[in-house]
Amino acid sequence: MQAVSHKNTVLAPDSATQYGAMSGFRFGALKNLFAPLLIITALLPCTYLCWQARGGSQFGYLQDDELYLTAARSLVTTGAYKIPSLPGEPYQTKYPPIYPLLLSAVWIMNPVFPANLQAFALLDWGLWICFVAVAFVMYRQLKLNRASQLLAVILLTLNSTCQFMATLLAPEALFSIFVLTTLLLADRSSRDTGSEVMTIYCGLAAGCAFLTKTAGFPLMVTVPLVLLLRHQHRRALYFGAVVTPFVASWAIWAGAHRSRFSDPTLMYYVDYFGFYKLNVGIKDFPALVVHNFLQILYSLPGVVPPWPDELGLLVMILTAIALIGTVRLLKDTRSLHFAAFLVVYVIELLVWNFNPNGRFLYPLIPIFIAGLSYEVWFGVDLIRKTLPGALAGDLVGKLVPACLIGISLFASAAYAHSMVARNVVLTRQWTANRKHAYDWINQHLPTSAKFAAYDDVGLYLYTGRQGIRSQGMTRPYVTGDREQIEKPVSAIADFARGHGLDYLIWAPDDYDTDGVLEDGHLRERLLAKNSGLSLVYGSEGVRIYRVDSER
């Protein structure tokens, strides 16, 4: 059918012309809806997982989540930023306040615990959605083509690390939003020779990132450094002037209010750097770097959606492609801010005394996925050029990303289903068992009773009783000192007596996220080594022991 010129006036189109126009509209509309529908489909596995975990079945998985919530509750009920679950109620000088402030706003609107856990679950799901949206803006600013943008967004929404963290009360999504926003604004500020307002916004975003997690400190180094390298001295000065009050105010307040504990366990609750000095000596430093480097390599495949174990080799190949693509992308786009932050942040992870697992890699995942998508399309273009005929090249261009998306969607749905069946349902039952023990405590023990408890903060939220977790040092995991790794359980009675604790509450899942103590039979054998423990409650695997003052 010939195209109709604008000079022609068609007053009564024939039925064929009308059908062609209508069908073209329908197909065009379907084509325009394809990308949004695909993204919505990709959002479903995580949404389903968060819905199933909305009752707080994952609450307490990290301990950090409970500490954030008790700090938020303390802000609402007392106006002080403290750790009310810990004997002595020290100030919370370990975690900066932005995420707890956000939680406190939710607590004000819904102050009934544990019913308000559903509201907190909704908040974290919303933060995850915002994180994906900010990553999409980043993909556009990095000049990925539309197909690469779509592939990257879908792979990010299907990422198992991000999905799992969305079920927890954790600041990773909020932190990553501020980090990516800082890098986007810094990149735009460096390229814009006009207004310098963007640099001020960049400083505000970086300050918020630091006050969400102090792990955002590399931004304070890389942003002004890149600006100085590009001879944008005034902008570096503006950035420093805006961000310095954020860093200084937290450092001054935390330093003035920090409890001066000499005990490593109590120091763990209030002082990152003090705990670090106790764990990392000069002679341990090389072993720490090697240990963390291997852990990062182990965690990197988490960039790829949770494909089946049978495709493990392909996952490793895709991980390598993601790394190569990240380097190529940042080089081709001259995104020096992203590159500098990535390097300095990884250095921070290498020298830190906590395992740099997928949780710590969270803000880097969108960048690595951008690299994966970029390199996939780079490879597709190469194949198109080598294949004879446009049809074959076009087929490859559609087949490769379609296979990636299809396998990832299937794997992500299977992951969400298995997480619900294997993890959410199980932890839901464990939580119910603990609640029965908490009810017994409320009925039979005085409010002044203090506990040695792995879930010490959860104990406080449900019963009002204070407690301390028998927390091991991080050095033994680097040096391989198994005796010290086992000590938090094998000497837990002595720990309780040494800290003036009256009772020990023990549950079957205590320490099961520990790489060594995850063996339940081992934990029971280690617990049996303790003396001076008298059983006062036992039901559904949860036990409460009275700690005798003399062994």
Backbone angles phi, psi at 544, to 5 degrees: -125, 125
pLDDT value of residue 385: 76
My answer on whether 378 and 515 are in the same domain is no
Is residue 16 a part of any domain in this protein?
Answer: no
Query: Same domain for 63 and 163?
Result: yes
d(CA 13, CA 336): 57
User: Both tokens of residue 293?
Assistant: 């480097």
Q: Which pLDDT value is given to residue 378? A: 85
Q: What does each C-alpha distance from 377 to 61, 129, 322 come to in angstroms?
A: 38, 26, 12
CA–CA dist 96, 206 (Å, integer): 13
Question: Do the domain assignments include residue 359?
Answer: yes
Which residue range forms the structural domain that includes residue 457? Answer: 445-547
Quick one: 401 and 475 in the same domain?
no
Kindly provide the residue ranges of all beta strands, DSSP E only, lying in 17-172, ordered along the sequence: none
369 and 510 belong to one structural domain: no
Secondary structure class of 373 (helix, strand, coil): helix
| Residue 389 in domain | yes
290 and 390: one domain? Answer: yes
Domain identity same for 467 and 417: no
Last residue of a domain, one of 388, 423, 458: 423
Residues 508 and 372 in one domain: no
- Count of domains for the chain: 2
Q: Which of 423, 453, 469 is the last residue of a domain?
A: 423
**Same domain assignment for residues 100 and 223:** yes
Q: Evaluate whether residue 49 is within a structural domain.
A: yes
Q: List residues bridging with 453 in a β-sheet.
A: 505
pLDDT of residue 518: 86
Joined tokens for residue 495:
């720990």
In a domain, 7, yes or no: no
pLDDT of residue 5: 40
The H helix count followed by the E strand count for the chain is 23, 5
- What's the one-letter identity of residue 66? E
Q: Is residue 439 a part of any domain in this protein? A: no
User: Is residue 405 located within the same domain as residue 456?
Assistant: no
- Please compute Rg for the chain using Cα positions: 27
CA distance 406 to 424: 25
Mark whether 459 and 338 lie in a shared domain. Answer: no
Q: How many Cβ atoms from other residues are within 10 Å of residue 402's Cβ?
A: 11
Residues 88 and 202 in one domain: yes
11, part of any domain: no
From first to last of its 551 residues, what are the pLDDT tens digits of the chain? 444 343 333 334 444 344 344 444 444 444 577 788 889 999 999 999 999 888 877 787 888 899 999 999 999 999 999 999 999 999 999 999 999 999 999 999 999 999 999 999 999 999 999 999 999 999 999 989 888 899 999 999 999 899 999 998 999 999 999 999 999 999 998 887 666 889 999 999 999 999 999 999 999 999 999 999 999 999 999 999 999 999 999 999 999 999 999 899 999 999 999 999 888 888 888 999 999 999 898 888 877 767 766 677 888 888 899 999 999 999 999 999 999 999 999 999 999 988 888 889 999 999 999 999 999 888 888 877 777 666 666 677 678 778 888 888 888 888 888 888 777 777 777 788 889 999 999 999 999 999 999 999 999 999 999 999 998 888 888 888 899 999 999 999 999 999 999 999 999 889 988 878 888 899 999 999 999 999 999 998 899 999 998 65
Within a domain: 14? no
Same domain, 419 and 453: no
